[in-house]
Structure formats: C-alpha cells, structure tokens
C-alpha cells in the first residue's frame, strides 16, 4: 500500500466527461489498495475568465477580492470531483484551502504556503476516504482571508499537501505523458525520460520546459517529494507500465539524484527564443558599477538572464553584456540611457532575436569537456556563438534565432538522446 497525492490540471478537469475519466484514475489507485488525496485545478480557461472579469470590473482592484474571485474556479472542480467519485462508490468530500487548512502568508495573488495541518486529511485517508482539495489557494494567517498562490499554483499545492501527509508519491496528471529530452515539436526523436532529478527538472523548467511550475519543483526538492508527470488522457484501466517497459507509473519520475543509477552527462536540451542582447562598452571598472546597472533594470522590474563581464583590458574600463526578453528590450535600453547619473558608459549596442540553447545534466559535475563538445557540435553546423554561460549542471549559449532549431537538433543527436526506433 502506498499513500499518493494525485493532482489534475485544467485540461484533465475541463468538463464532466474529463472529470469522470480523471476520477477513474483515482479509482484504479484505490482499488490497488492505496490511500489517495486529490488536488485539482480549475477547468481549463476558467481562471483566465475570472481574471478577465476582475479587470473588467476595475483594473485597479483590491488584491484580496481578486483572490476571493479567482479562487472560486478550483472550488467548483473540487466539488464536482467529489460528486463523481462518490457516484463511483468511493467515499469522498471536497475541501477548500481554508478547510484543510492550508495556511499562507498575505501576499495576495502570489502567496506562499507557510504550513498545512494534515490532521483532517490523514484521518480521512486512513478511513478509506478520498479528500479532494482545491489547488492554487489557501488562507492567510495574517488577515484570515482567501489567498491564491500565483498562476499555475496548483502544482505547488499538490506538492505541499504530499509533503504534509507524508505521501510516497505525488502524481501530476496533465495533458502530456511525461518530461521529454527536448521539445518533441522541434525534435520528433525526443524521448520521454524515465527519470529526471529535481535539479535537472528545475533547470529544464526555468529554461522553458513548461510542464511543472518551478516553485513546485523547488518544494519537491526541499521536501524530497517524488513526483511523476503523467497524462490523464491515458486509459485509466490500461496496465501500468513505466517508460522503460517495467511495471510502474507510466510517466516521468522526478526524484532525488540518488535514485538515478546511470547519470547522464546531458539529459536534456532546452530552447528559449526571443532573447535580446545588450552590451555596454567602456563601463568604469570599479566597485558598485554592476550593482548600479542591474539595480537600474531591477527597479523597472526587468528580468535579466545571461550576464557576461570581461576582465578589464586597460585597468580602467570593461564591457558588460547581458540578455533580457525581446519584449523588455526597448524598456531596458531606455532605463540604461536615462539612468540619472547612476553609472557611465561609452556606447550601448544591442539586438533582439537571439535564442538561448542549453544542455542540462547532473553528470556534467563529474565530466570534463561538456562545454567544448557542445561548442564543437555547434561549430560543425556553422553556428556562431554570441554568449556563453554555465552552471554546475548546465551550459547555455546565445545564438541567432534563425539557427535555434538546427542547434537543438544537432545537440540532441550529438549527445545520443535521439529515440532509437524513430
Ligand atoms: N487555475 C490556476 C491557474 O490557471 C491554477 C492552476 O491551474 O495551476 O493558474
Ligand atoms: Mg496548471
């Protein structure tokens, strides 16, 4: 017997038929003798509709009322799921965040979970009940009001509930059947991974693989909650086979590095397009200058990604290059040009339309030569590298957007990630 928290995303809850199909996955786990708690998203599109209504009522609204309104989508699906499960003969009831309770801080619209009292959930589950909990919401201990966790937050709710009830696993049911080595729309030979470590998943998520909300992966890593990403569109009654062909969960397991026997040097290749590059030439090489430059951008809420500063040639000045999203380029240039005397530079140049291509893998820590082999693979295709950044388990390059897909395909093949039979 295992204790499992299952989470259904918006497409898995989109209508009554989809809810019934999702409920059959729960039924299968219950019949296999497991204890199950369910966390649900709102029906797909619902939260957008609610946000739209709030903004139509008043663009400048009270964030506490925003939360009261947008949290309602999950209340509907939690109730519906409980009804459908009951109809299938499974004892079930719904819980809103405050009823669990899931406590948060009072950052309305982007609240953080501070604590979950598992007493009620534990009792229900050990008596064979299936509690169905609203994702995305909680209650603030500061003002006693409903809060929401930020868009996509129900993944985080599910992981937090799993940690609180000491679940063996948290199954995230979505509309894709797992995490892939790269975007299958770019590389048809992309493979579904059997396992990926939390750290790799974090890198992949922040580099653009949109399967899981980043915060949920951070939380899973901190509390060592094993996650699986799987599709609710699979036949609920089909035999449960893991991607490697052995009996198990038919999705990708996101787990601690320790659980992964064979550590890949490169496990995945990611792509982020629409990256703009900005260079400041002859910036004074003295303490506080970088802080002033990036402080100016931070004050405008501009998120900077790759940052490269070279050592000074003349001992007096240096060049700094960094990237921002294309959509922030004009705003960034304006902020730098009108910096109110916070810093000086000789020239500003830049361009939009870059692509950041990255290779990710925990095996990189113990293997030399990943960067050089990556550069070689790109050179073989005649692709010029504009910027390079690295972390312990990732190497990223900025290239011209025109070559983005070619680069991803070349690296995917180079690191042996292509599906054998495709
Ligand atoms: N319904 C919320 C949203 O659309 C939360 C979620 O689906 O994770 O952002
Ligand atoms: Mg979602």
Stretch 398-408: mean pLDDT? 97
- Confidence at residue 373, expressed as pLDDT on a 0 to 100 scale: 94
Model pTM? 0.89
Nearest CA to ligand 1 atom 6: 152
Which ligand places an atom closest to the C-alpha of 49?
1
| Average pLDDT over all residues of the chain | 95
| Cα dihedral 271, 274, 280, 286 in deg (nearest 10) | -50
Distance 404 CA to ligand 2 centre (A): 27
339: pLDDT strictly greater than 90: yes
Distance 239 CA to ligand 2 centre (A): 26
Residues with CB under 6 A from ligand 1: 10, 41-42, 47, 73, 135-136, 151-154
The 8-class DSSP code of residue 298 comes to H
Distance 90 CA to ligand 1 centre (A): 26
Nearest CA to ligand 1 atom 5: 152
Contact, 2 vs 34, CB < 8 A?
Answer: yes
Chain position carrying tokens 């504009």? 386
pLDDT single digits (tens) 311-322? 888 889 999 999
- Confidence at residue 4, expressed as pLDDT on a 0 to 100 scale: 98
422: pLDDT strictly greater than 60: no
Q: pLDDT band at 208, cuts 50/70/90?
A: low
- Give CATH 3.40.1160.10 domain extents, the chain: 3-258
pLDDT single digits (tens) 285-297? 989 999 999 999 9
Q: Which of 152, 155, 232 to mutate to test the pocket of ligand 1 (most atoms within 8 A of CB)?
A: 152
CATH of domain 3-258: 3.40.1160.10
Distance 137 CA to ligand 2 centre (A): 13
Q: Which of 13, 47, 150 to mutate to test the pocket of ligand 1 (most atoms within 8 A of CB)?
A: 47
Contact, 218 vs 254, CB < 8 A?
Answer: no
- Confidence at residue 243, expressed as pLDDT on a 0 to 100 scale: 82
- Taking residue 421's Cβ as centre, other Cβ atoms within 10 Å add up to 4
DSSP string, 182-250: S-TTT-TT--B-SEEEHHHHHHHHHTT-TTS-HHHHHHHHHHT--EEEEETTS-TTS--B-TTSSBS-S
3-state secondary structure of 321: strand
Q: pLDDT band at 246, cuts 50/70/90?
A: confident
Q: CB under 8 Å to 139, separation ≥6 — which residues? A: 97, 98, 101, 102, 103, 104, 145, 146, 147
pLDDT single digits (tens) 26-85? 999 999 999 999 999 999 999 999 999 999 999 999 999 999 999 999 999 999 999 999
Q: Which of 77, 135, 174, 205 to mutate to test the pocket of ligand 1 (most atoms within 8 A of CB)?
A: 135
Q: Classify 268-414 by CATH class.
A: alpha beta
Dist CA 8 CA 5 (whole Å): 10
- Confidence at residue 336, expressed as pLDDT on a 0 to 100 scale: 97
Mean pLDDT is lowest, of 69-78, 122-131, 149-158, 237-246, for 237-246
Distance 278 CA to ligand 1 centre (A): 34
Stretch 366-373: mean pLDDT? 89
Report how far Cα 10 is from the mean position of its chain's Cα atoms: 15
Q: Which of ligand 1's atoms lies nearest the C-alpha of 157?
A: 8
pLDDT single digits (tens) 132-141? 999 999 999 9
Distance 274 CA to ligand 2 centre (A): 23
- Confidence at residue 245, expressed as pLDDT on a 0 to 100 scale: 85
Q: Which has the closest alpha carbon to 417: 355, 365, 366, 359?
A: 359
- Confidence at residue 311, expressed as pLDDT on a 0 to 100 scale: 85
Contact, 267 vs 255, CB < 8 A?
Answer: no
Dist CA 70 CA 330 (whole Å): 32
HEC profile for 3-65?
Answer: EEEEEECHHHHCCHHHHHHHHHHHHHHHHCCCEEEEEECCCCCHHHHHHHHHHHHCCCCCHHH
Q: CB under 8 Å to 122, separation ≥6 — which residues? A: 165
Ramachandran angles phi, psi of 301, nearest 5°:
75, 25
pLDDT single digits (tens) 16-37? 999 999 999 999 999 999 999 9
Q: Which residue has the higher pLDDT, 364 or 90?
A: 90
Distance 86 CA to ligand 2 centre (A): 25
- Confidence at residue 366, expressed as pLDDT on a 0 to 100 scale: 85
Q: Which of 50, 77, 154 to mutate to test the pocket of ligand 1 (most atoms within 8 A of CB)?
A: 154
- Give CATH 3.30.2130.10 domain extents, the chain: 268-414
205: pLDDT strictly greater than 90: no
Dist CA 241 CA 248 (whole Å): 5
222: pLDDT strictly greater than 90: yes
Question: Percentage of the chain surpassing pLDDT 70?
Answer: 99
Q: Which of ligand 1's atoms lies nearest the C-alpha of 150?
A: 9
Contact, 196 vs 243, CB < 8 A?
Answer: no
Which ligand places an atom closest to the C-alpha of 42?
1
Which ligand places an atom closest to the C-alpha of 150?
1
Token pair for 4:
């499992």
| Cα dihedral 282, 283, 284, 287 in deg (nearest 10) | -150
- Taking residue 281's Cβ as centre, other Cβ atoms within 10 Å add up to 14
């Amino acid at each position: 017997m295992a204790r499992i928290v299952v989470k259904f995303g918006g497409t898995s809850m989109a209508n009554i038929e989809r809810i019934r199909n999702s409920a059959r996955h729960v039924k299968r786990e219950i019949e296999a003798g497991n204890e199950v708690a369910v966390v649900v998203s709102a029906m797909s599109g619902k939260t957008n509709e609610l946000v739209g209504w709030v903004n139509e009522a008043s663009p400048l609204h009270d964030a506490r009322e925003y939360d009261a309104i947008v949290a309602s989508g999950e209340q509907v699906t939690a109730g519906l799921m409980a009804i459908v499960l009951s109809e299938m003969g499974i004892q079930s009831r719904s819980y809103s965040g405050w009823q669990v309770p899931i406590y948060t801080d009072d950052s309305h619209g982007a609240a953080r979970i501070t604590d979950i009292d598992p007493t009620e959930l534990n009792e229900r589950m050990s008596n064979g009940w299936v509690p169905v909990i609203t994702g995305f919401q909680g209650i603030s201990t500061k003002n006693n009001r409903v809060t929401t966790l930020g868009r996509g937050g129900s993944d985080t709710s599910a992981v937090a509930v799993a940690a609180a009830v000491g679940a063996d696993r948290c199954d995230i049911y979505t509309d894709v059947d797992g995490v892939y080595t790269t975007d299958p729309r770019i590389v048809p030979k992309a493979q579904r991974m059997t396992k990926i470590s939390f750290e790799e998943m974090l890198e992949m998520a922040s580099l653009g693989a949109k399967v899981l909300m980043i915060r949920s992966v951070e939380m899973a890593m901190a509390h060592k909650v094993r996650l699986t990403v799987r599709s609710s569109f699979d036949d609920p009654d089909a035999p449960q086979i893991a991607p490697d062909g052995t009996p198990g969960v038919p999705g990708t397991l996101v787990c601690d590095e320790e659980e992964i026997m064979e550590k890949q040097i490169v496990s995945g290749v990611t792509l982020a397009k629409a990256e703009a590059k900005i260079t400041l030439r002859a910036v004074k090489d003295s303490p506080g200058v970088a802080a002033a430059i990036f402080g100016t951008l931070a004050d405008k809420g501009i998120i900077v990604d790759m940052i490269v500063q070279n050592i000074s040639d003349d001992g007096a000045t240096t060049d700094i290059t960094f990237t921002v999203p294309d959509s922030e380029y004009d705003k960034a240039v304006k902020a730098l040009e009108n910096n109110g005397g916070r810093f000086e530079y000789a020239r500003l140049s830049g361009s939009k339309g870059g692509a950041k291509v990255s290779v990710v893998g925990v095996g990189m820590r113990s293997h030399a030569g990943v960067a050089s082999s990556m550069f070689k693979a790109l050179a073989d295709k005649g692709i010029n590298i504009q910027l390079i950044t690295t972390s312990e388990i990732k190497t990223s390059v900025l290239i011209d957007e025109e070559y983005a897909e070619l680069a991803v395909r070349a690296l995917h093949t180079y690191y042996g990630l292509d599906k054998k039979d495709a």
